[in-house]
Structure 1
Amino acid sequence: MRLILASSSPRRADLLQQIGLRFTVRAANIDESVLPGEAPNAYVARMAIAKGREVSRLCAADDCVLAADTAVIVDGRILGKPSSRGDAAMMLRRLSGRSHEVMTAVSVHYGEALRVAISKTEVFFASLSDAEINNYLNTGEADDKAGGYGIQGHAACFVQRIHGSYSGVVGLPLYETVDLLKQVGFSR
């Protein structure tokens, strides 16, 4: 059985390598638009399943496909990846001095089996000055990350505390991932 990571995220690949899993990367190319009125948990689950299905169609029948999707939620609204530097600055201002939720769904497709889990983590940000936001944006880290920040980089300085899964905030909750792999019979 071969493990396929349906993601081009270097952070997800790093997390899988951290726990000693060998895998092949094959990214999915899907529309990641939020549907009108879609709840955040439904959105991340739908994205993780869609990514996994897309890649599964291109793989051998005995391949195990792992996919994930992460969203940052504040005031019930999903903050996706910023479309511009201004969009990233707006997101960071919304997160400043308060808590938000990071939700990551993981799906595992193996043969006819499909398993899904969702990790929810509350993240508490310090109050950010305009200078701190601009300095962070100058690092380029905000460009491809949900909510406009990466907890594993310079934005770690903004995080006062978290309640939940650190790896889930990075983009792949490892406990849930390993549990789903066990459920479908994947051995490390």
Structure 2
Amino acid sequence: MISSLSKFNIILASGSPRRQQFFKDLHLDFEIRLKEVEEVYPDHLKGTEITDFLADLKSKPFDLELTEGDLLITSDTIVWLNDKALGKPKNYEEAFAMLKSLSNNKHQVITSVSIKSKKLQKVFNDTTDVYFKELTDNEIDFYIKTYQPYDKAGAYGIQEWIGKIGIDKIEGSYFTVMGLPVHKLYKELISL
């Protein structure tokens, strides 16, 4: 672990196995704390405003329990297509419709991160453009039935089969699409 971070008790408030693995890969000592938060945002918010709002919202239940030296990290990711946010699909039909809309199209994946202590809070975000090839109905059906992407914004994981066979190119950070702009998080943490 980076020595300048050893003075902090880093708390990751995320049940995402991908985010947890990123923290391990960064060699950070951290603990996981989870609290249920209803991920609802005002209708007028767009793009990065949505993920910034939700990353902050996820940090609020911890406000009264943070102690000196605690550093809480929360995060949120959306898929942004045609001026609309695609969250996590509730069922097969929703997942299919989402992937169909992403097929042969460009969309953005936006991830925001909140870093909060007793004295400060910083929210930042990162955006990556993702280009899908035209996906057949059979490919979409196979992916949903095999990978059950109901815990993923936009109904897909870039690291899974659909990303390997379906994404023509990305412009930006691969890790932002996976749910955490690791390069920006690292920069923010070592600047504390």
The residue correspondences of 1:24-173 to structure 2 (distance < 5 A) are 24-156=31-163, 157-173=165-181
Q: Match of 2:30, as an amino acid?
A: F
**TM-score normalized by the length of structure 2:** 0.91
Which whole-Å CA distance do the structure 1 matches of 2:9 and 2:80 have between them?
34
Unaligned runs of 5+ in 1: none
RMSD between aligned residues: 1.2
Alignment match of 2:190 (pick from 178, 182, 188): 182
- Residues 152 and 2 (structure 1), Cα distance of their counterparts in 2 relative to 1, 3 Å cut: same
Cα shift readout 1:64-87 (whole Å, capped 9, x = no counterpart): 001110000100100000011100
How far residue 97 of structure 1 moved from its aligned partner, in angstroms, is 0.5
How far residue 12 of structure 1 moved from its aligned partner, in angstroms, is 0.4
- Of 114-123 and 148-157, more deviation after overlay is shown by 148-157
Alignment check: 8 A CA contact 1:117 1:180 kept? no
Q: Match of 1:94, as an amino acid?
A: S
Which whole-Å CA distance do the structure 2 matches of 1:62 and 1:56 have between them?
13
Cα shift readout 1:94-128 (whole Å, capped 9, x = no counterpart): 00001100000011002211111110000000100
Identity of aligned residues (%): 32
Alignment check: 8 A CA contact 1:44 1:69 kept? yes
Which whole-Å CA distance do the structure 1 matches of 2:109 and 2:187 have between them?
20
Which whole-Å CA distance do the structure 1 matches of 2:167 and 2:156 have between them?
11
**TM-score normalized by the length of structure 1:** 0.93
How far residue 56 of structure 1 moved from its aligned partner, in angstroms, is 4.0
- Of 33-42 and 92-101, more deviation after overlay is shown by 33-42
Cα shift readout 1:127-167 (whole Å, capped 9, x = no counterpart): 00000000000123411100000011112221111000111
Alignment check: 8 A CA contact 2:41 2:53 kept? no
Give structure 1 regions of 4+ aligned residues with deviation exceeding 6 angstroms: none
Unaligned runs of 5+ in 2: 1-7
Which whole-Å CA distance do the structure 2 matches of 1:26 and 1:140 have between them?
26
